[in-house]
Structure 1
Amino acid sequence: MRTRHMFALLAGTALALGLQPAAAQVVEGAKLGTEEPHTTITLGEPDPHWVYVVDPVFPHLIASKVYVVDGDTQEYLGMFNTGYVPNIVLAHDKSGIFTTETYWSRGARGERTDVVTFYDPRTLSPTDEVVLPNGRFLVVPKKQDADLSTDGRYLFSFNMDPSMAVSVVDVKEKRHVADIDLPGCSLVFPTGPKSFVSLCPDGSFASVRFDESGKAEVEEGQPFFDGENDPVFEHPAMHRPSGQAFFVSYEGQVFPVELKDGAATHGESWSLLGEADKSEAWRPGGWQLASFHAATNRLFVLMHQGGKWTHKHAGAEVWVYDTEKRERIARVPLEEHAISVAVTQDDEPLLFTLSEAASMSVFDATSFEHKGDRGSLGDSPFLLHVFGE
């Protein structure tokens, strides 16, 4: 009785003080504001000045991403998730984006599935996928872990499990064709509709030709660089439509290679460095350290000052070369040292540099004028892709 009396007294006091019962407060607080309008934007056809930035997200690798940025405005256009350390390939005709991705059924554990995922470049949404039954090579993304045949029909995905092989996927029929074994060679560099080469430890290429069933012939080539004393970077500057590629060595030698007609043809090498450059210890370095603008025959290379084996150091400058004259025509100082570089392939090209601080700088690739920056670009962006390269 005393308890009930005390409760009644407290309730009466609350009413006397003008306090509202809890139920009334809940009803009053449950009123919702006006719902904000929701709009889904569809992008237009990919522009030559759009850049696709691959971020492996090193703090949590199972959540890698690709950002799409407008180089003219430095604004974000969109983003899509791509699983664990992906590789992306842009369709030659701008009709699609292909990514090689890896997932586990329980997030970071469980059953593993490797796929080639097809994305719509206008919505950035997945539209289809093909399973890679034998997996793919899981490593910090390199552009030549995956690529398209010259006619865009087949996607090649490098694998090492532990033997080396390349998975062939027909992107038109959306099916896995075959896995082609390699003689200890790595990565894929397309040379034709049904052919590619892979880079071998002795400084040579292994040339691969296959038929529609995936049956392949592999031919070993002759070395074009010294893999023991002066290795080349695995990220050449490439222009796929013409088959031109420029492999840069740790010591600054340039090795021109033609990737077409089912083979890799080596040209005469030349040096990025003059005697004064060598005395000042300038060297090429970074991750995706070189890019090539085909219409002007200009090669863009990240350079830094350092000793031997500093080949992964970020570049303090971009050096620009005329590949026909084999001479330097410009030096572009960078406020933020860069690990990756890319140039668009249009008549008014832009130059992109990607820093270790997750920011991207944009330059006019003809006048070298600084156009702007895009800061806070994900967690750990590493690779740059543009259509037409």
Structure 2
Amino acid sequence: MASGARWRAILGGLLGASLLGTAAMAQVPGKASLGTQEDHPTLTLPEPQPHWVYVLEPVFPYLQASKVWIIDGDTLQYKGMVNAGYTANLVLDHDKAGFYVTETYWSRGTRGDRTDVVTFFDGKTLEATGEVKLPQGRFLVVPKKNNAELTTDGRYLLSYNMAPSMGLSVVDVKEKRYVGEIESGGCSLAYPTGPKSVAMLCPDGSLQNVTFDENARATIENGKPFFDSENDPVFEHAAMHRPSGQAFFISYDGWVYPVTLKGRPVVGERWRLQSAADEGWRPGGWQIAAFHAASNRLFVLMHEGDRWTHKAAGHEVWVYDVAKKQRIQRIPLAHHSISVNVSQDDKPLLYALSETATLEVFDATSYQSKGVKEGIGISPYVLYVYGE
């Protein structure tokens, strides 16, 4: 059997030329002899490129072993794959050296002693380089990006928890140590606003402002409600751009709430996705929106449906000029999609991910199709890119 480290290695040795292609396989160093022990040659990746997309798959309906698929959006070829634990969450570091996975295991697979950890991965070898235990556990739910996030300077990883009270587990990723817990009084998820500050989404429709020190001692300031949490909630997956602090929360009925996430959250004037001519169209899916900061464009998954169809997959991606608050393009999807993201370079690609494990790629400027990648595992769910 291959070792755990080998299993997490680049797909060049594990899945063969059928996935990576002959160009990648040509880089595999030759072996004079295989010997008596099974040996899997591996590749070393370069620094992540702007058009690489990281696809997190919780593997429904099994859930015991999540996967992270790394795909080159230009070639639609796999660059690598990592195995992870139960309903894992992925966090890309800010300097492109690696990434973190929050994950859960039981000593007997589906029973026994439970262990929750933040695992550190090298971005080039895709091997685990260390881990930090989360003694208070982590909230187990279908993966959301804001279940785990880094502070704006990349020093602290914040993992959402409910054990039983809601809050955040704080891990110092520089020193590789668990720092402590922050109780949030019912507010959830992590929207970083500074090196030692984070906003959390509250049941009353407000954002809570949390500041903390190196020992996880926190000061909490409650905000004012900015959306109707009973009649028109917002999707938890806001379209965010960490470097600029811009975020856009979108409600089930199609209202856009711009929020500046630098220090104390500041909510701007809301505006609506649909015009009078768009009756019956609504946002829907899982990771429903993405923001390209350089072009000031917002991309949103939309479908035709009645109220409370917010989980329905998107039939189209609608593109908005944020400055003008106007739609400028509609992109039909051949595969109805639940998640969307956009690369942050000056020649951006748009990614749309379906529940049927298909990734559609578009030029995010001309809106022309760049290709389709099918068969990404069984049930991919969340998309990550560097620089967002």
> Same fold judged by TM-score > 0.5?
yes
Map 1:255-294 → 2, pairs under 5 A: 255-260=257-262, 262-278=263-279, 281-294=280-293
The amino acid of 1:118's aligned partner reads F
Deviations 1:250-279 (A, max 9, x none): 00000000001x21100000000000102x
Q: Please tell me whether residue 348 in structure 1 is matched to residue 347 in structure 2.
A: yes
Residue of 254, 261, 265 corresponding to 2:256: 254
The RMSD of aligned alpha carbons is 1.5
Residue of 65, 68, 93 corresponding to 1:66: 68
Q: Please tell me whether residue 233 in structure 1 is matched to residue 232 in structure 2.
A: no
The amino acid of 1:222's aligned partner reads K
The amino acid of 1:367's aligned partner reads S
Q: Could you tell me which residue of structure 1 aligns to residue 89 of structure 2? A: 87
Q: Please tell me whether residue 373 in structure 1 is matched to residue 372 in structure 2.
A: yes
Distance 2:167 2:359 in 1: 34
Q: Could you tell me which residue of structure 2 aligns to residue 47 of structure 1? A: 49
Distance 1:216 1:275, change over 3 A: same
Distance 1:65 1:108 in 2: 18
Deviations 1:4-61 (A, max 9, x none): xxxxxxxxxxxxxxxxxxxxxxxxxxxx999998531000000010000000001211
Distance 1:124 1:373 in 2: 25
Q: CA deviation at 1:95?
A: 1.4
Q: CA deviation at 1:358?
A: 0.7
**Which runs of 5 or more residues in structure 2 are unaligned?**
1-33
Distance 1:36 1:179 in 2: 44
Q: CA deviation at 1:183?
A: 1.3
State the SS of the aligned residue for 1:144: helix
Q: Could you tell me which residue of structure 2 aligns to residue 131 of structure 1? A: 133
Q: Could you tell me which residue of structure 2 aligns to residue 174 of structure 1? A: 176
State the SS of the aligned residue for 1:276: helix
State the SS of the aligned residue for 1:60: coil
Q: Could you tell me which residue of structure 2 aligns to residue 8 of structure 1? A: none
Q: Please tell me whether residue 117 in structure 1 is matched to residue 119 in structure 2.
A: yes
Distance 1:39 1:271, change over 3 A: same
Q: Of the two, which has the highest radius of gyration?
A: 1
Deviations 1:50-101 (A, max 9, x none): 0000000012111110000000011111101111001101011111201100
The amino acid of 1:243's aligned partner reads G
Q: Could you tell me which residue of structure 1 aligns to residue 143 of structure 2? A: 141
Q: CA deviation at 1:243?
A: 0.6
Distance 2:35 2:123 in 1: 35
The amino acid of 1:344's aligned partner reads S
Q: Could you tell me which residue of structure 2 aligns to residue 200 of structure 1? A: 202
Q: CA deviation at 1:121?
A: 0.8
Distance 1:356 1:145 in 2: 21
Distance 1:355 1:286 in 2: 10
Distance 2:305 2:318 in 1: 16
State the SS of the aligned residue for 1:63: coil
Q: Could you tell me which residue of structure 1 aligns to residue 303 of structure 2? A: 304
State the SS of the aligned residue for 2:64: helix
State the SS of the aligned residue for 1:273: coil
The amino acid of 1:321's aligned partner reads Y
The amino acid of 1:315's aligned partner reads G
Distance 1:188 1:265 in 2: 16
Distance 1:197 1:254 in 2: 18
Distance 1:283 1:166 in 2: 32
The amino acid of 1:284's aligned partner reads P
Distance 2:382 2:180 in 1: 28
Q: CA deviation at 1:157?
A: 0.2
The amino acid of 2:225's aligned partner reads P
Deviations 1:165-220 (A, max 9, x none): 10010000000111000111110000000000100011101111111111111111
Distance 2:95 2:111 in 1: 37
Distance 1:144 1:272 in 2: 23
Q: Could you tell me which residue of structure 2 aligns to residue 14 of structure 1? A: none
The amino acid of 2:131's aligned partner reads E
The amino acid of 2:275's aligned partner reads G
The amino acid of 2:356's aligned partner reads A
Map 1:153-172 → 2, pairs under 5 A: 153-172=155-174
The amino acid of 2:277's aligned partner reads A
Distance 2:372 2:348 in 1: 16
Q: CA deviation at 1:365?
A: 0.3
Distance 2:102 2:284 in 1: 26
Map 1:323-342 → 2, pairs under 5 A: 323-342=322-341
Distance 1:330 1:388 in 2: 24
Tell me which stretches of 4 or more aligned residues in structure 1 moved more than 4 Å: 32-38
Q: Could you tell me which residue of structure 2 aligns to residue 317 of structure 1? A: 316
State the SS of the aligned residue for 2:231: coil
State the SS of the aligned residue for 2:61: helix
The amino acid of 1:61's aligned partner reads L
Q: Could you tell me which residue of structure 2 aligns to residue 151 of structure 1? A: 153
Q: Could you tell me which residue of structure 2 aligns to residue 23 of structure 1? A: none
State the SS of the aligned residue for 2:143: coil
Distance 1:75 1:35 in 2: 30
Distance 1:37 1:95 in 2: 27
Distance 1:38 1:205 in 2: 49
